[in-house]
Structure 1
Amino acid sequence: MNQFVARLRTVVQGGQNGIAGYMLRGVSTSFLLQGFGLALVTGSSVLLARLLGAAGYGTYSYVLAWLEILKIPVAYGLPILVQREVAVYAGRQDWPLVRGLFTRLNQFIIVMSAVIIALAVITATFGIAGLFENAIERRTLFIALVSLPIAAFSAIRAATLNGLHLIGKAAFPDQIVRPSTTIVAIGILWLLGARLTAETAMIAQVTGITCAFGLGALFLWRALPAGFAALSARFETRIWARAMGPFLLHGASYVVWASLAVVMLGWYRSPAEVGVYRAAALAAGLSIFPITAFVATVSPLVARLYAEGDMARIQKVVSTTTLAMFAFGFCGVAGYALIGHWLLALVFGPEFDTGYWPLVIIAGGNWIFSGIWSVGVLLDMSGNQRFPAMAYMGALVVNLVLGVVLIPRLGLIGAAISTAGSWALAHMWLAIVVTRRLGIRPDIMRSLVWGAARFVGREHAKR
C-alpha cells in the first residue's frame, strides 16, 4: 500500500502541500480506517450470525434492508450534494452559504423523518400489503426506526467533513466507533443474560449509530471556523433543490437496488436463505473494500480539479487507482472461487456454506465494477449527477425483473445473478458516458495501456 501511494505522489505531482500530499494523507488514512472498520463490521456480523443462527440473522437482515430503503429520502443522495457543495464553498471561504445549506438540510431531515416514521409505524401495525405481519419483525422494525433521523444527520456530518478534506474524522465515527459500540453492546446484553434475538441485535445496532453520531457531531463542531453558529446564513435553496433531485434519485435507486435481493428473498423464500445471502454478500464486498477509501479521498479532489479544468490530472489519478482496484478485485474473486465453501462454513457456521455460488457470482460482478470504479465519482463531482441516477434506476429495473424471474426458481443463485448482472451493466454504460462527456477513459483497458507506457518509458530511461 505504501508503494502504491508513493506512486500516486509521483504521478499526480505537487509535493506534500499539493494534490500528492493530499492523496498520500487521504488514501492512507481512509484505507487504514476502512480496513479496520470493515474488520469490525465483519466481526459484528459474524458474531450475530453465529449467535442468532441463519433464521434469526435473516430476520435481522430483512429489517435492516427495509430500514435502508426507508432512509432513502433523508440519508442517501444528500451527502453527495453536501460533499460537493462544501468542498466548493470552503475553498472560497463562503461560510454563510455552508451555514444556509446546513439549515435547509436540517429542516428537511426533521420533517421527512417524522413523516417516514409515521407511515412505517402505520404500515407495520396494520400489516398493510402483508408487510411485517410477523411480530418479531414488527418489533425489530420499531426499534430500528429510532435510528432513522440519527443516521441521516450522521451522513450529512460525514459528508461535510469529507468536503473539508478531513477524511479521518469523517470516517472514524461510522467506521470504528459504530461497529465497536455494537459489539460491546452485544457483549453487555449477553453478560446480562438477555436472550439474543433480532430485537436485541437491533438495540445494539441503534446504540452504535447513536454513539457514532455524538462523536461525529463533536468532530464537526471543532472543524468549523470560530463563530460559525453566529453567522448570518445565505441560501441558494432553488439551486440546491434542483441539484438534490438527481442526487436523491441516484441514492434511492442505488439503495433499493442494493436491498432488493434481501427483500425479495424474504418475500419469496425463507428467513434462513436471507441470512445465508446476507453473509455471502458481506463476504463478497470485502473484495472491493479499498474502493470506499478511494471514493472518500478522490471525490472532493475531482470536484476541485474539475472546477479548475485540469482534466489531464484527473485522468492520471483515475488510471493509477483503477489498476490497483482491478488487481485487488481479481484476487478476491479468485480466492473465493478456491476456498469460498470452507470460508463461509468456518467464519459464519456450517449452515452458511450454501452461499458459495452467490459469493462467487457477486464477487465476479464486483471485479467487473473494480475496472471502472470511478465513473460515479467523475459524474457526480462534475455536475453530471443525472447520469448515475439514470444508471441506477435502470439497474433497479433490471434487478427487479431478473429477481422476479430467477429468485422463485433459483433462490440464492437467482438473487446473486440479478444483483451482480444489473450492477455490472449499469457501470459499463456509465463508463461510456464518462468517455463521451468528460473525455476521460475510466476503464481498466486505458489504465493498463497507461501503466504499460509508463513502465516502458522508465525502462528506456534507465538504458
Structure 2
Amino acid sequence: MAVMDANSAPATEPTGLKARLRALFTGTGEASLTRRLAGTIFLIRVISAGLAYFSQILLARWMGTSDYGIYVYVWTWVLLLGSMMDFGIAASAQKIIPEYRASGDHARLRGFLSGSRWMTGIVSLIVSLLLAGLVKLISPWIDAETVVPLYLGCLTLPAFVVANTQDGIARSHDWMRLGLMPQFIIRQALIIGFTAGAFALGFKLGATIAMLASVAAVWVAMIGQMIVLNRRLHTHIEPGPKAYDYRGWLAVSLPILLVESFYLLLSYTDVLVLQQFVSSDEVGVYFAVVKTLALVSFIHYAMSATTAHRFTEYHTAGDKDRLAAYVTHAIKWTFWPSLAATLILLALGKPLLWLFGPQFTGGYDIMFIAAIGLVVRAAIGPVERLLNMLGHQHICAVAYASAFVMNLVLCLVLVPKFGGHGAAAATSIALTFETILLFWIVRQRLGLHVLAFGKRK
C-alpha cells in the first residue's frame, strides 16, 4: 500500500501550484496527516524559538554576558538532566501506547497513562534532593555566583520531568499542541513575563532571578498541562481496572534512555566543556550561536515526534512496504527543509546575533562550522526513532555513545586552544560520524536506504 498520497492523485484532478499545495497539506492519507502534524509541531517550535530568542536577547541585555553565561550553564544542566530523568518514558510512550492499543490491553494502557507520571515524578524528586546535596558538598570549589542558581535548577527538575512524560503521552495520541505548547510556548511566555516583571519592579536581573523565573514557569506550565491532559484522557479512555507493568515499561524504556542520554550528552557537551575552559562571556556568545541555529534542529524534532508511533504501528502490523515508504517520506521532509533553513539562517546570521548585543556578532563565523553537522545529520532523518521503535535500541545506543565519546574527546582537545570554534568543529565532526554509523546500521539491520538522495533499494 502506498502512503505517498500527494503523489497518487487521480489524473482528473487539477494541476498546478494550487492543486499541489492542496494535495500536500489536505490529503487524507498517512503522509498528509504526518505533514500536518509535523507542520503543527514545527510551527509550535518556531513560535517557541521566537519567544525563546526574544527572552534570551532580553536576558543577555539585562544581565550582561557574565550572568547570562551562568544562567545558560545552569539551564543547560536542567535540560540535560531533566531530559534523562524520565527513564526514557517520554520516548517509549510512542512504542508502549500503540502496542497496548493494538493488543487490546486496556488495563495496562490505563495503568501506564497514570503510573508512568507518578513513577517519573517521585524518582525525579528524590534525585533532585540528592543533587541539591551534591551542590552543597561541592560549593566550596565552584563559583559562588553559580551555587544558588544550581539549587534553583534542582527545584526545577521534578516538574520538568513530569512535563516530558506528559508530552510523550500526548504525542502518542496525536495531541501535538497539548504535548508541546505548555513546554515550548507557555513556558517561554511565562519566563518572559516573570523576568520582565522582576525587571520592572527594580530587581537586579542576575542569574538567580532569571532561574527563579524559570522555576516558576516550568511548574505552572506542567500543572496546567496535567489538568488538560487528564480531562482529555478521561473522555478518550474508558474507565476500568489498571495494571502497572513497571518492569515491562522499564525493559522497553531503559535502552531508549541510553539512546536519548547519549544524544543529549552529544548535544550539550560543547557548552559544558566550554564552561570549564573559557569565560562566561564566551559561553554566552556560543550559546547565542546555538540558539540561532536551533530552527534547523526543530525540523528534525518535528518529524521525529510525528513519526515514531507510526513506525511502531506499521511494524506491528507487519506492513513492510508501508513502513519503507513512510520512512522515505520522513527523511525527505527532514533534510530538504533543514537545508533551506540553514542557508537562510547563515545569510541572516550576523544581524540575528547582533540582537543579543554588538559583542555577540563575534560568533558569526562559528555558525558556519556548527551548521555543517546539522545539515549532515538531517540527511538521514529520524532514523534513531526508527531503530528504537523497531527494537534496535541497543545498537542505536552504541552509535550515540560512540559519537558522544568522540565529541567529548575532540572538545577536550580543541576547546582549550580554539574556544567556541573548537567546540563547533568537534560537534560537527561527531555528528558526521554518527550519521555515517546510523546509515550503515539501518542498511545492515533493516535493509533500508535512509539517505535523502541516492539510489534506493
Structure-1-length-normalised TM-score: 0.87
CA distance in 2, matches of 1:175, 1:50: 22
CA distance in 2, matches of 1:108, 1:9: 46
Alpha carbons 2:87, 2:120 under 8 Å: kept: no
Alignment partner of 1:159 is 2:158 = no
Which residue is equivalent to 1:194? 203
- Which amino acid in the other structure matches residue 166 of structure 2? R
RMSD of the TM alignment (CA)?
A: 2.7
Aligned counterparts, 1:214-363, within 5 A: 214-226=223-235, 231-345=240-354, 347-363=355-371
Aligned counterparts, 1:64-463, within 5 A: 64-75=75-86, 77-102=88-113, 104-127=115-138, 130=141, 133-226=142-235, 231-345=240-354, 347-446=355-454
Q: Deviations over 1:372-421 (max 9, x none)?
A: 12211211111211122112211111111111111111111111111121
Alpha carbons 1:8, 1:23 under 8 Å: kept: no
Alpha carbons 1:336, 1:360 under 8 Å: kept: no
Alpha carbons 2:96, 2:249 under 8 Å: kept: no
CA distance in 1, matches of 2:89, 2:308: 14
Alpha carbons 1:8, 1:317 under 8 Å: kept: no
* Residue 148 of structure 1, CA deviation: 0.6
CA distance in 2, matches of 1:74, 1:273: 29
Which residue is equivalent to 1:453? none
> What is the DSSP-based 3-state SS (H/G/I as helix, E as strand, rest coil) of the residue aligned with 2:453?
helix
> What is the DSSP-based 3-state SS (H/G/I as helix, E as strand, rest coil) of the residue aligned with 2:263?
helix
Q: Deviations over 1:19-59 (max 9, x none)?
A: 24532542332232222222222222222122222212110
Residues 96 and 246 (structure 1 numbering): CA distance in 2 closer, same or farther, change over 3 Å?
Answer: same
CA distance in 2, matches of 1:9, 1:142: 56
Alignment partner of 1:45 is 2:56 = yes
- Which amino acid in the other structure matches residue 247 of structure 2? R
Alpha carbons 2:330, 2:381 under 8 Å: kept: no
Residues 288 and 252 (structure 1 numbering): CA distance in 2 closer, same or farther, change over 3 Å?
Answer: closer
Name whichever of 240-249 and 327-336 sits farther off: 327-336
Runs (5+) with no aligned partner, structure 1? 451-463
CA distance in 1, matches of 2:300, 2:53: 17
Runs (5+) with no aligned partner, structure 2? 10-19
CA distance in 1, matches of 2:148, 2:139: 15
Residues 69 and 321 (structure 1 numbering): CA distance in 2 closer, same or farther, change over 3 Å?
Answer: closer
How many equivalent residue pairs? 441
Which residue is equivalent to 1:454? none
Which residue is equivalent to 2:33? 22
> What is the DSSP-based 3-state SS (H/G/I as helix, E as strand, rest coil) of the residue aligned with 1:220?
helix
* Residue 283 of structure 1, CA deviation: 1.0
CA distance in 2, matches of 1:386, 1:263: 26
Alpha carbons 1:246, 1:385 under 8 Å: kept: yes
Which residue is equivalent to 2:12? none
Residues 227 and 428 (structure 1 numbering): CA distance in 2 closer, same or farther, change over 3 Å?
Answer: closer
Which residue is equivalent to 1:35? 46
Residues 90 and 39 (structure 1 numbering): CA distance in 2 closer, same or farther, change over 3 Å?
Answer: farther
Residues 227 and 86 (structure 1 numbering): CA distance in 2 closer, same or farther, change over 3 Å?
Answer: closer
> What is the DSSP-based 3-state SS (H/G/I as helix, E as strand, rest coil) of the residue aligned with 1:45?
helix
* Residue 336 of structure 1, CA deviation: 4.6
CA distance in 2, matches of 1:332, 1:183: 26
Residues 78 and 411 (structure 1 numbering): CA distance in 2 closer, same or farther, change over 3 Å?
Answer: same
Alpha carbons 1:34, 1:175 under 8 Å: kept: yes
Structure-2-length-normalised TM-score: 0.88
> What is the DSSP-based 3-state SS (H/G/I as helix, E as strand, rest coil) of the residue aligned with 1:114?
helix
> What is the DSSP-based 3-state SS (H/G/I as helix, E as strand, rest coil) of the residue aligned with 1:224?
helix
Q: Deviations over 1:223-244 (max 9, x none)?
A: 2145969632223333222222
Alpha carbons 1:177, 1:211 under 8 Å: kept: no
